[in-house]
Chains A and B, each alone.
Chain A
Amino acid sequence: MSILGTRVVRTEDPRLLTAGGIYVDDLRLPELAGAARVTFVRSPLAHALITGIDVSAALEAPGVVAVLTARDAGDLPPASTRPMTEPLLAGDRVRFVGEPVALVLTDHAYQGEDAAELVSVDYEPLTPVVDLSDSLAGGTLLFPDAESNLVATGSGGNGDPAKFDDCEVIVEQAIVNQRVAPVPLEVRGAAARWADGRLTLWASTQNAQLTRGAVAEALGLDFPAIRVITPDVGGGFGAKIATDRDVLAVAWAAKHVGRALRWAETRNENLMAMVHGRAQQQVIKIGGTRDGRILAYHLDIVQDCGGYPRAGGFLASLTQLMASGVYDLPRAGAQFRAVVTNTTPIAAYRGAGRPEAAAAIERAVDMFAAEIGMDPADLRRRNVVPPEAFPYTTATGATYDTGDYAQALDLVLAAAGYQDLRAAQARRREAGGPAQLGIGLSCYVEITAADGRQGETARLIVDDAGAATVHTGSSAHGQGHETAFAMLVQAELGIPMDRVTVLHGDTDMIPKGIGTYGSRSLQLGGTAVHQAAVDVKGQARKLAADMIEASEADLVLDTATGTWQVRGDPETRMSWAQLAGQAGPAGFVSDVEFKAAQATFPFGAHLALVEVDVETGKASLLRHVTVDDAGTILNPVLAEGQRHGGIAQGVAQALLEEVLYDADGNPLTNTLAAYAAITATELPFFELVSMETPTTVNPLGAKGIGEAGTIGATPAVQNAVIDAVAHLGVRHIEMPTTPERVWAAISEARASQ
């Protein structure tokens, strides 16, 4: 029996549980002995001109090695002339609180905190642009050379917002998909060393090779002059895809001063200066017949990009692409405008554009169901893309590979006991007590490995000891790549997992690779490993046939023992060690780059059961039942772990988490005491239902599972909270559905009746 699809505990864990991971701040390498500590001086204002910087007092402070500002950056390549270019260090202007202005280098970390206080920066405040409407109005421009605050616009589909003539019922609603913080437990960090004309950068990143590219561009270095190493990474969730300017500044400073440097930010800095996610204002419009056929849907998006463009426009384009969700709609369309504001920049956060699409249409469908008095499960079942329609191309241009959306919904409803829950809800409503039940549904489809054509690399080596080594361009930060990729090798070659070493994250060892984001690792990186194993198997078969003068077709590999033999002749038995010893100096080696012809589209359905105290507005999640179909599952343990974490982050957005600014652009949630990161007490055990609809896009049949839970969970929980108080006249509540918001919505509904 193949190991694939079985429950395998992780090979990573003994090390992480006994010695702890080696994250970037844990590095105790000789190359970093005596490294100076970097402390950033950051802007305290959201929008201001810098009129002067006086570093003299800081330079006198104990332990200070150097204080570097934009004025010292003459050794950087000339700045890009593109509009809205982001500098390494702020020059004449700051555009968000937390923007890097200067680096203080000290012998020890505590000295850095002291000395940073002594850097005196003169600011001339400018009008802060915090509201998206103010940004769109363009009364104050963040980039005076640009014509407006617009970063990007787009539109797609055939869903003209004006064309709802044939709809008996039309529902419109403005919705905020609020800004949230990724909060990886390990904050950002880096170490850098310039020696012998070469930069070595250790960084907490999701992709070493892309980081090398960013460093090359920022510092004007060629690839051979850069080595990027990824130690253990304590979570990324998309926020460690891009190479932040802070990291580039550390790399530059190490070269500039010629001393090894280390940097680890504080959580306070992290919540101000690491990217945030989501941050869209949406208007949904949905129309159809009174008996439940949805005919038209339109989504209008204003994407907040924060102080610099970064990925904001891209995220909104993904929301647009996925706007129509799981539904087979005659007309669907979306348009977006992405703008800058004086807030922390926005980029990918688990789901990255797709949760915003799912939340919008799943709220729209629920509101439409409420308007026509139809059960939201029935309305969904009536309008989803039918299984025979795949591959299915949406109005906005996505081609869904495989799926069965109605089955996913039905499995969840059955597992949850939907009719019983509705009956229990009715009894609570009848009794009229303070604790009311809400049942929320979401059906979702999302896009993974959207850049599958860029592919991923793998090198597989089988040496003369019979051991295997995998070099992958993929980049684990908690997902369990070492376990998963070793399973693929064992399954194909019969080399046991504990004799398979999986390596990643060193550009000297693995010059070509992409990394981990967009739920791409298994379907691209894993497929590359699988194909390399298939190739090595072919090489071994040929070599063995030559060695014993047998026909290749007669040779069989017993994957239970990892031995080759001529079929029916145990005398000819050969081990991997024996064969690899004859294969060449390095044994068997295979280099593969797998490129997928198109993206894959995982899907699922979530049901959330909440209890809302209508006297206090407090919503509690009692149950969360999900189908998350990501095609063929390699290791249920890992897949379930990804679902659990995803669900929790999705619930967090629905119930608790929100990044807030005051009217001047001052962050109000820049500590974990203020930002309501979800804890164990706010979550139940999750109830996971299995469903596997393989994709045909790759030979593993695998789609991505990293982000699905987040995408499905948020709208299910939001819908559940609203459902709990719908009988009181509440039609919509914005996220997070805090007690204050729920209570206010109930009060408002009561007042208007």
Chain B
Amino acid sequence: MKVTVTVNGEPVTADVEDRTLLVHYVRDVAGLTATNIGCDTTSCGACTVLLDGESVKSCTILAAQADGGEVVTVEGLAGAGGELHPMQSAFRAEHGLQCGFCTPGMVMAAISLLRENPAPTEAQVRAGLEGNLCRCTGYHNIVRAVLAAAEAGPVEAGPVEAGPVETGPVETGTEAAR
């Protein structure tokens, strides 16, 4: 069947098998491989994307169900000049990622969480991310990152506006990552 999904602002149309999952549509048709597959029971959240503004696990939705919809993946967050989305910045500053495999889904889930609850408590962040597994960080710095992003202000579900571009060297030294 023919499916059209707008992925990160670009309409993508393809003839796909009826049973094609949204995550395969994103990875193999749209060619955006940041969104990962970590399980087959909707348990791990590695495949989390935003569909029409809501976070969904894209392994559990048929591409056909997303026909006509708008999907945002982690590739759609940074600005045109490469400036990081506040949630991406927070994950980096707080060391909220290690191997990076859960990260795209975790970042999208965290954005969805803050859009629903802009000032969550620690317990609300933990509950909100219960459906996203991370095996590297013990969640410690992920929760810190989400709380830090909330502290920094409201988050958008799309690319950051063009602004000053971070092109300088990596921040080093004693900069707080705690």
Chain A interface residues toward B at CB < 8 A: 3, 6-14, 16-23, 25-26, 28, 109-110, 182-187, 232-235, 237, 264, 266-268, 477-480, 490, 496-498, 637-638, 640-641, 644-649, 671-673, 677, 679-681, 683, 685-686, 709
Contact = CB atoms under 8 A, between A and B. Distances in A.
Given A9-B175, A20-B100, A28-B33, 17 more contacts: A9-B92, A16-B103, A17-B84, A17-B103, A18-B84, A20-B75, A21-B100, A109-B24, A183-B133, A185-B136, A232-B100, A235-B98, A479-B98, A496-B169, A646-B138, A673-B41, A685-B143
Interface in B116-154: 122, 125-127, 129-144
B135 A17 contact: no
A271 to B, nearest CB: 9
B33 A16 contact: no
A478 B138 contact: no
Interface in B15-73: 17, 19-20, 24, 27, 31, 33-44, 46
A185 B101 contact: yes
A637 B95 contact: yes
A10 B91 contact: no
Interface size class of B (residues with CB under 8 A): 35 or more
8 contacts: A18-B88, A233-B99, A268-B40, A637-B177, A671-B39, A673-B42, A680-B125, A683-B139
B171 interface: yes
Given A9-B171, A17-B84, A185 B41 contact: no
A480 B99 CA distance: 8
B138 to A, nearest CB: 3
Contacts of B24: 109
Given A7-B175, A8-B172, A19 B34 contact: yes
Contacts of A477: 99
Contact of A6 (B107, B137, B173): B173
B101 A6 contact: no
B95 A641 contact: yes
Contacts of B104: 20
A20 B35 contact: yes
Contact of B177 (A7, A11, A497, A498): A7
A13 B31 CA distance: 21
A217 to B, nearest CB: 28
B12 interface: no
A193 B24 CA distance: 23
A23 B36 contact: yes
B97 interface: yes
A13 B99 CA distance: 9
Given A16-B100, A647-B138, A185 B174 contact: no
Contacts of A685: 122, 140, 143-144
Contact of B138 (A23, A490, A498, A645): A645
Contacts of A11: 170
B137 A17 contact: no
A185 B170 contact: no
B31 A185 contact: no
B133 A672 contact: yes
Given A8-B172, A9-B171, A235-B101, A185 B34 contact: no
Given A18-B77, A644-B140, A645-B98, A185 B44 contact: yes
Contacts of A9: 92-93, 95, 170-172, 175, 177
A20 B36 contact: yes
A646 B135 CA distance: 9
A30 to B, nearest CB: 14
B141 A28 contact: no
A387 to B, nearest CB: 30
B171 A185 contact: no
Contacts of A26: 27, 33
Contacts of B35: 20
A551 B134 CA distance: 55
A415 to B, nearest CB: 16
Given A14-B84, A680-B139, A3 B172 contact: yes
A673 B134 CA distance: 15
B74 A679 contact: no
Contacts of B91: 13, 17
Chain A contact residues: helix, strand, loop or mixed: loop
A480 B98 CA distance: 7
B69 to A, nearest CB: 21
Given A479-B98, A680-B139, A673 B43 contact: yes
Nearest to B125: A680
B168 to A, nearest CB: 9
Nearest to A713: B138
B1 interface: no
B97 A16 contact: yes
Nearest to B89: A17
A60 to B, nearest CB: 19
A252 B154 CA distance: 53
B148 to A, nearest CB: 13
Contacts of A490: 172
B111 interface: no
Contacts of A25: 33, 37
7 closest pairs, A vs B, by CB? A20-B34, A234-B101, A648-B138, A478-B99, A16-B100, A478-B98, A672-B43
A498 B98 contact: no
B41 A12 contact: no
A10 B92 contact: yes
A645 B33 contact: no
A672 B57 CA distance: 14
A745 to B, nearest CB: 27
Contact of B17 (A110, A638, A649, A677): A110
Contacts of A681: 126-127, 130
Contact of A18 (B78, B125, B141, B173): B78
Contact of B136 (A14, A21, A28, A478): A478
B83 to A, nearest CB: 10
Contacts of B133: 183, 185, 672, 677, 679
Nearest to B17: A110
B102 interface: yes
A556 to B, nearest CB: 22
Nearest to A15: B100
Given A19-B34, A186-B36, A234-B36, A686 B95 contact: no
B169 A498 contact: yes
B78 to A, nearest CB: 5
Given A268-B40, A677-B133, A681-B130, A498 B170 contact: yes
Contacts of A234: 36, 99-102
A647 B175 CA distance: 25
Nearest to A109: B24
A680 B126 contact: yes
Contacts of B127: 680-681
B138 A497 contact: no
Given A496-B169, A641-B98, A679-B130, A18 B39 contact: no
Contacts of A3: 172-173
Interface string B154-178: 0000000000000001111111111
Contacts of A677: 43-44, 133, 135
Contacts of A496: 169, 172
A637 B103 CA distance: 18
A23 B45 CA distance: 17
A267 B38 contact: yes
A570 to B, nearest CB: 24
Nearest to A647: B138
A185 B91 CA distance: 18
A279 B162 CA distance: 54
A17 B101 contact: no
B176 to A, nearest CB: 7
Contacts of A184: 99, 101, 135
B27 to A, nearest CB: 8
Given A20-B74, A671-B43, A681-B130, A645 B170 contact: no
